[in-house]
Structure 1
Amino acid sequence: MNQSVLQSIAAADLPERGQPLAGGIFVTRYWLNGQERALVLLNDEFEGAWGEYGVKVEGAGSYSDGEANTRAMAEAGSQIAIQALELGAFIPSCLEGQLVMAAKADGLVTVREDGWHWLSSQRSAINAYGMGFEVGWLDFDHKDNECLVRPVRSLILQ
Protein backbone atom coordinates (compact mmCIF):
# COMPACT_ATOMS: atom_id res chain seq x y z
CA MET A 1 0.00 0.00 0.00
CA ASN A 2 1.23 3.49 -0.80
CA GLN A 3 2.59 4.92 2.48
CA SER A 4 1.32 8.43 1.67
CA VAL A 5 -2.28 7.20 1.84
CA LEU A 6 -4.12 8.01 5.06
CA GLN A 7 -4.42 4.80 7.10
CA SER A 8 -6.18 6.01 10.24
CA ILE A 9 -8.30 8.93 11.41
CA ALA A 10 -9.69 10.20 14.69
CA ALA A 11 -13.39 9.39 14.94
CA ALA A 12 -14.04 13.05 15.81
CA ASP A 13 -12.50 14.09 12.45
CA LEU A 14 -14.85 12.00 10.31
CA PRO A 15 -17.05 13.98 7.93
CA GLU A 16 -20.72 13.20 7.41
CA ARG A 17 -21.45 10.08 5.33
CA GLY A 18 -21.34 10.91 1.62
CA GLN A 19 -18.66 13.60 2.07
CA PRO A 20 -15.05 13.57 0.77
CA LEU A 21 -12.46 11.61 2.76
CA ALA A 22 -9.04 10.13 1.91
CA GLY A 23 -9.35 10.53 -1.85
CA GLY A 24 -12.91 9.24 -2.07
CA ILE A 25 -16.33 9.41 -0.44
CA PHE A 26 -16.97 8.36 3.17
CA VAL A 27 -19.41 5.42 3.06
CA THR A 28 -19.88 4.39 6.70
CA ARG A 29 -18.29 3.22 9.94
CA TYR A 30 -18.01 -0.54 10.49
CA TRP A 31 -16.16 -3.11 12.57
CA LEU A 32 -13.55 -5.45 11.09
CA ASN A 33 -11.19 -7.75 12.97
CA GLY A 34 -11.93 -6.06 16.30
CA GLN A 35 -11.28 -2.53 15.01
CA GLU A 36 -13.76 0.19 14.16
CA ARG A 37 -13.10 1.52 10.67
CA ALA A 38 -14.26 4.07 8.12
CA LEU A 39 -15.02 2.75 4.64
CA VAL A 40 -14.15 5.07 1.74
CA LEU A 41 -15.29 4.51 -1.87
CA LEU A 42 -12.75 5.79 -4.41
CA ASN A 43 -13.74 7.42 -7.67
CA ASP A 44 -11.33 5.21 -9.63
CA GLU A 45 -12.88 2.49 -11.75
CA PHE A 46 -11.38 -0.18 -14.00
CA GLU A 47 -12.24 -3.63 -15.25
CA GLY A 48 -10.72 -7.02 -15.71
CA ALA A 49 -10.83 -10.67 -14.75
CA TRP A 50 -10.84 -11.59 -11.04
CA GLY A 51 -8.25 -14.27 -11.62
CA GLU A 52 -7.61 -17.60 -13.23
CA TYR A 53 -10.60 -19.92 -13.75
CA GLY A 54 -10.22 -23.16 -11.79
CA VAL A 55 -7.53 -21.88 -9.40
CA LYS A 56 -8.40 -21.47 -5.73
CA VAL A 57 -6.54 -18.50 -4.23
CA GLU A 58 -5.57 -19.27 -0.65
CA GLY A 59 -6.40 -16.37 1.67
CA ALA A 60 -9.09 -14.82 -0.56
CA GLY A 61 -12.12 -16.42 1.05
CA SER A 62 -13.05 -13.80 3.62
CA TYR A 63 -16.62 -12.53 3.42
CA SER A 64 -15.63 -9.39 5.35
CA ASP A 65 -11.92 -8.52 4.89
CA GLY A 66 -11.47 -7.13 1.39
CA GLU A 67 -7.91 -5.96 1.98
CA ALA A 68 -6.72 -9.44 3.00
CA ASN A 69 -8.55 -10.96 0.02
CA THR A 70 -7.04 -8.42 -2.38
CA ARG A 71 -3.51 -9.01 -1.10
CA ALA A 72 -3.95 -12.76 -1.61
CA MET A 73 -5.32 -12.15 -5.10
CA ALA A 74 -2.33 -9.93 -5.97
CA GLU A 75 0.12 -12.56 -4.72
CA ALA A 76 -1.62 -15.02 -7.08
CA GLY A 77 -1.13 -12.60 -10.00
CA SER A 78 -4.56 -10.93 -10.25
CA GLN A 79 -4.10 -7.75 -12.31
CA ILE A 80 -7.17 -6.04 -10.84
CA ALA A 81 -5.89 -6.69 -7.32
CA ILE A 82 -2.46 -5.33 -8.19
CA GLN A 83 -4.06 -2.24 -9.73
CA ALA A 84 -6.21 -1.63 -6.62
CA LEU A 85 -3.23 -2.00 -4.27
CA GLU A 86 -1.20 0.42 -6.41
CA LEU A 87 -3.91 3.00 -5.66
CA GLY A 88 -3.46 2.43 -1.93
CA ALA A 89 -6.84 0.70 -1.95
CA PHE A 90 -8.40 -2.75 -2.31
CA ILE A 91 -11.36 -4.56 -3.86
CA PRO A 92 -14.28 -4.65 -1.42
CA SER A 93 -15.35 -7.92 0.19
CA CYS A 94 -18.98 -9.07 0.11
CA LEU A 95 -19.64 -7.19 3.37
CA GLU A 96 -17.92 -4.02 2.17
CA GLY A 97 -19.75 -4.20 -1.16
CA GLN A 98 -23.06 -4.40 0.69
CA LEU A 99 -22.08 -1.34 2.77
CA VAL A 100 -21.39 0.53 -0.49
CA MET A 101 -24.81 -0.58 -1.77
CA ALA A 102 -26.46 0.74 1.40
CA ALA A 103 -24.76 4.11 0.88
CA LYS A 104 -25.89 4.12 -2.75
CA ALA A 105 -29.47 3.33 -1.70
CA ASP A 106 -29.27 6.25 0.75
CA GLY A 107 -28.18 8.55 -2.10
CA LEU A 108 -24.72 9.12 -0.62
CA VAL A 109 -22.56 7.61 -3.39
CA THR A 110 -22.89 6.96 -7.10
CA VAL A 111 -21.92 3.59 -8.55
CA ARG A 112 -22.38 2.42 -12.13
CA GLU A 113 -25.45 0.28 -12.61
CA ASP A 114 -24.74 -0.98 -16.13
CA GLY A 115 -22.43 -3.85 -15.22
CA TRP A 116 -21.34 -6.24 -12.50
CA HIS A 117 -18.61 -5.21 -10.06
CA TRP A 118 -16.12 -7.72 -8.72
CA LEU A 119 -15.89 -8.25 -4.99
CA SER A 120 -12.72 -9.76 -3.53
CA SER A 121 -14.50 -12.65 -1.77
CA GLN A 122 -13.79 -15.93 -3.55
CA ARG A 123 -16.54 -18.52 -3.65
CA SER A 124 -14.60 -21.44 -5.16
CA ALA A 125 -11.80 -22.27 -7.59
CA ILE A 126 -14.22 -21.39 -10.38
CA ASN A 127 -16.24 -18.44 -9.05
CA ALA A 128 -15.90 -15.20 -7.10
CA TYR A 129 -18.61 -12.87 -5.83
CA GLY A 130 -19.82 -9.81 -7.68
CA MET A 131 -22.41 -7.14 -7.05
CA GLY A 132 -24.95 -5.58 -9.39
CA PHE A 133 -25.49 -2.09 -8.00
CA GLU A 134 -28.70 -1.47 -9.97
CA VAL A 135 -30.75 -3.11 -7.22
CA GLY A 136 -28.04 -4.61 -4.97
CA TRP A 137 -27.77 -8.13 -6.33
CA LEU A 138 -25.04 -10.28 -4.81
CA ASP A 139 -24.10 -13.20 -7.02
CA PHE A 140 -21.03 -15.03 -8.28
CA ASP A 141 -19.41 -15.34 -11.70
CA HIS A 142 -16.57 -17.19 -13.40
CA LYS A 143 -13.27 -15.67 -12.31
CA ASP A 144 -12.01 -15.19 -15.86
CA ASN A 145 -14.95 -12.96 -16.87
CA GLU A 146 -14.34 -9.23 -17.23
CA CYS A 147 -16.21 -7.13 -14.65
CA LEU A 148 -15.92 -3.63 -13.22
CA VAL A 149 -13.90 -2.83 -10.09
CA ARG A 150 -14.55 0.12 -7.78
CA PRO A 151 -11.83 0.08 -5.10
CA VAL A 152 -12.24 1.18 -1.49
CA ARG A 153 -10.07 2.16 1.47
CA SER A 154 -10.62 1.25 5.10
CA LEU A 155 -9.26 3.66 7.72
CA ILE A 156 -8.77 2.59 11.33
CA LEU A 157 -10.68 4.88 13.70
CA GLN A 158 -8.73 6.19 16.67
Structure 2
Amino acid sequence: MTQSVLQSIAAADLPERGQPLAGGIFVTRYWLNGQERALVLLPDEFEGAWGEYGVELKGAGSYSDGEANTRAMAEAGSEIAIKALELGAHIPSCLEGQLVMAAKAEGLVTLREDRWHHLSTQFSAYRAYTMGFEGGWLYHYGKYNERLVRPVRSLILQ
Protein backbone atom coordinates (compact mmCIF):
# COMPACT_ATOMS: atom_id res chain seq x y z
CA MET A 1 0.00 0.00 0.00
CA THR A 2 1.35 3.43 -0.95
CA GLN A 3 1.89 5.85 1.91
CA SER A 4 0.03 9.14 1.88
CA VAL A 5 2.74 11.70 1.15
CA LEU A 6 3.05 15.27 0.02
CA GLN A 7 2.40 15.51 -3.75
CA SER A 8 2.98 19.23 -4.26
CA ILE A 9 4.34 22.27 -2.47
CA ALA A 10 4.23 26.03 -2.96
CA ALA A 11 7.53 27.29 -4.32
CA ALA A 12 7.59 29.89 -1.53
CA ASP A 13 7.51 27.06 1.06
CA LEU A 14 10.62 25.29 -0.21
CA PRO A 15 13.50 25.12 2.27
CA GLU A 16 17.11 25.73 1.29
CA ARG A 17 18.73 22.93 -0.72
CA GLY A 18 20.09 20.24 1.60
CA GLN A 19 17.39 20.84 4.22
CA PRO A 20 14.59 18.45 5.29
CA LEU A 21 11.50 18.20 3.10
CA ALA A 22 8.77 15.55 2.71
CA GLY A 23 10.60 12.87 4.70
CA GLY A 24 13.96 13.39 3.02
CA ILE A 25 16.43 16.05 1.92
CA PHE A 26 15.57 18.71 -0.67
CA VAL A 27 17.98 18.21 -3.58
CA THR A 28 16.97 20.81 -6.20
CA ARG A 29 14.28 22.29 -8.40
CA TYR A 30 13.96 20.91 -11.92
CA TRP A 31 11.54 20.69 -14.85
CA LEU A 32 9.80 17.46 -15.83
CA ASN A 33 7.03 17.07 -18.39
CA GLY A 34 6.37 20.82 -18.47
CA GLN A 35 6.07 21.17 -14.68
CA GLU A 36 8.57 22.62 -12.25
CA ARG A 37 9.30 20.15 -9.46
CA ALA A 38 11.26 19.70 -6.25
CA LEU A 39 13.45 16.58 -6.01
CA VAL A 40 13.70 14.99 -2.55
CA LEU A 41 16.20 12.24 -1.66
CA LEU A 42 14.82 9.79 0.91
CA PRO A 43 17.00 8.23 3.63
CA ASP A 44 15.69 4.72 2.82
CA GLU A 45 18.04 2.31 1.09
CA PHE A 46 17.44 -1.25 -0.10
CA GLU A 47 18.78 -3.62 -2.72
CA GLY A 48 17.61 -6.02 -5.36
CA ALA A 49 17.60 -6.84 -9.05
CA TRP A 50 16.19 -4.29 -11.51
CA GLY A 51 14.00 -6.79 -13.31
CA GLU A 52 13.87 -9.74 -15.64
CA TYR A 53 16.89 -10.16 -17.90
CA GLY A 54 15.99 -10.26 -21.59
CA VAL A 55 12.61 -8.53 -21.22
CA GLU A 56 12.21 -4.99 -22.53
CA LEU A 57 9.61 -3.08 -20.53
CA LYS A 58 7.45 -0.57 -22.38
CA GLY A 59 7.31 2.68 -20.44
CA ALA A 60 10.61 2.22 -18.56
CA GLY A 61 12.94 3.98 -20.99
CA SER A 62 12.53 7.61 -19.94
CA TYR A 63 15.82 9.37 -19.30
CA SER A 64 14.03 11.93 -17.12
CA ASP A 65 10.77 10.54 -15.67
CA GLY A 66 11.74 8.15 -12.88
CA GLU A 67 8.21 7.82 -11.59
CA ALA A 68 6.87 6.60 -14.96
CA ASN A 69 9.80 4.17 -15.26
CA THR A 70 9.23 2.87 -11.73
CA ARG A 71 5.50 2.33 -12.33
CA ALA A 72 6.28 0.33 -15.50
CA MET A 73 8.81 -1.74 -13.55
CA ALA A 74 6.29 -2.39 -10.75
CA GLU A 75 3.61 -3.48 -13.23
CA ALA A 76 6.11 -6.06 -14.52
CA GLY A 77 6.69 -7.33 -10.97
CA SER A 78 9.97 -5.61 -10.03
CA GLU A 79 10.36 -5.95 -6.25
CA ILE A 80 12.53 -2.84 -5.91
CA ALA A 81 10.01 -0.75 -7.86
CA ILE A 82 7.12 -2.02 -5.75
CA LYS A 83 9.05 -1.22 -2.57
CA ALA A 84 9.85 2.32 -3.77
CA LEU A 85 6.21 3.00 -4.65
CA GLU A 86 5.11 1.67 -1.24
CA LEU A 87 7.29 4.40 0.28
CA GLY A 88 5.42 7.00 -1.79
CA ALA A 89 8.57 7.43 -3.85
CA HIS A 90 10.27 6.14 -7.00
CA ILE A 91 13.64 4.98 -8.29
CA PRO A 92 15.52 7.92 -9.83
CA SER A 93 15.82 8.22 -13.60
CA CYS A 94 19.20 9.00 -15.19
CA LEU A 95 18.45 12.72 -14.95
CA GLU A 96 17.30 12.51 -11.33
CA GLY A 97 20.36 10.41 -10.44
CA GLN A 98 22.62 13.07 -11.93
CA LEU A 99 20.81 15.79 -9.96
CA VAL A 100 21.34 13.77 -6.77
CA MET A 101 25.03 13.40 -7.69
CA ALA A 102 25.33 17.17 -8.18
CA ALA A 103 23.86 17.69 -4.69
CA LYS A 104 26.37 15.18 -3.28
CA ALA A 105 29.25 17.00 -5.01
CA GLU A 106 28.06 20.22 -3.35
CA GLY A 107 27.99 18.54 0.08
CA LEU A 108 24.19 18.72 0.39
CA VAL A 109 23.49 14.97 0.66
CA THR A 110 25.37 11.86 1.71
CA LEU A 111 25.40 8.74 -0.46
CA ARG A 112 27.10 5.38 -0.26
CA GLU A 113 30.12 5.22 -2.53
CA ASP A 114 31.04 1.56 -2.10
CA ARG A 115 28.30 0.10 -4.34
CA TRP A 116 26.53 0.91 -7.60
CA HIS A 117 22.90 2.13 -7.42
CA HIS A 118 20.09 1.14 -9.78
CA LEU A 119 18.40 3.90 -11.74
CA SER A 120 14.95 3.34 -13.23
CA THR A 121 15.95 4.07 -16.83
CA GLN A 122 16.09 0.93 -18.96
CA PHE A 123 18.94 0.70 -21.48
CA SER A 124 17.78 -2.45 -23.30
CA ALA A 125 16.06 -5.78 -22.71
CA TYR A 126 19.22 -6.93 -20.97
CA ARG A 127 20.56 -3.82 -19.23
CA ALA A 128 19.46 -0.87 -17.12
CA TYR A 129 21.36 2.25 -16.07
CA THR A 130 23.25 2.34 -12.79
CA MET A 131 25.19 5.09 -11.05
CA GLY A 132 28.32 4.99 -8.93
CA PHE A 133 28.13 7.91 -6.51
CA GLU A 134 31.85 7.85 -5.72
CA GLY A 135 32.58 9.82 -8.87
CA GLY A 136 29.17 10.14 -10.53
CA TRP A 137 29.73 7.33 -13.03
CA LEU A 138 26.72 6.48 -15.15
CA TYR A 139 26.76 3.09 -16.85
CA HIS A 140 24.47 0.20 -17.76
CA TYR A 141 24.66 -3.31 -16.32
CA GLY A 142 22.60 -6.49 -16.44
CA LYS A 143 19.10 -6.20 -15.00
CA TYR A 144 19.64 -9.33 -12.90
CA ASN A 145 22.46 -7.70 -10.86
CA GLU A 146 21.58 -6.88 -7.25
CA ARG A 147 22.29 -3.19 -6.67
CA LEU A 148 21.34 -0.56 -4.12
CA VAL A 149 18.31 1.70 -4.55
CA ARG A 150 18.02 5.15 -2.99
CA PRO A 151 14.46 6.35 -3.73
CA VAL A 152 13.39 9.92 -4.39
CA ARG A 153 10.18 11.96 -4.43
CA SER A 154 9.30 14.54 -7.06
CA LEU A 155 6.92 17.22 -5.78
CA ILE A 156 5.03 19.51 -8.16
CA LEU A 157 5.73 23.18 -7.43
CA GLN A 158 2.69 25.42 -7.25
Q: TM-score range by the shorter chain?
A: over 0.9
CA distance in 2, matches of 1:4, 1:48: 24
CA distance in 2, matches of 1:149, 1:22: 18
CA shift at 1:4, angstroms?
1.9
Shift of the 3–48 alpha-carbon distance from structure 1 to 2, 3 Å rule, reads closer
CA distance in 1, matches of 2:125, 2:77: 15
CA shift at 1:3, angstroms?
5.7
Q: TM-score, normalised by structure 1?
A: 0.99
Asked if 1 retains the 8 angstrom alpha-carbon contact of 2:10 and 2:157, the reply is yes
Query: Partner residue of 1:31?
Result: 31
Structure 1 segments (4+ residues) deviating >3 Å: none
CA shift at 1:2, angstroms?
3.1
Taking only the aligned residue pairs, the percentage that are identical comes to: 85
Q: Which runs of no fewer than 5 residues in structure 1 stay unpaired?
A: none
Query: Partner residue of 1:99?
Result: 99
CA distance in 2, matches of 1:15, 1:2: 25
Aligned residues: 158
3-state secondary structure, aligned to 1:89: coil
Asked if 1 retains the 8 angstrom alpha-carbon contact of 2:57 and 2:76, the reply is yes
Q: TM-score, normalised by structure 2?
A: 0.99
Query: Partner residue of 2:126?
Result: 126
CA shift at 1:5, angstroms?
0.1
3-state secondary structure, aligned to 2:52: coil
Q: How does 1:1-158 map to 2 (within 5 A)?
A: 2=2, 4-158=4-158
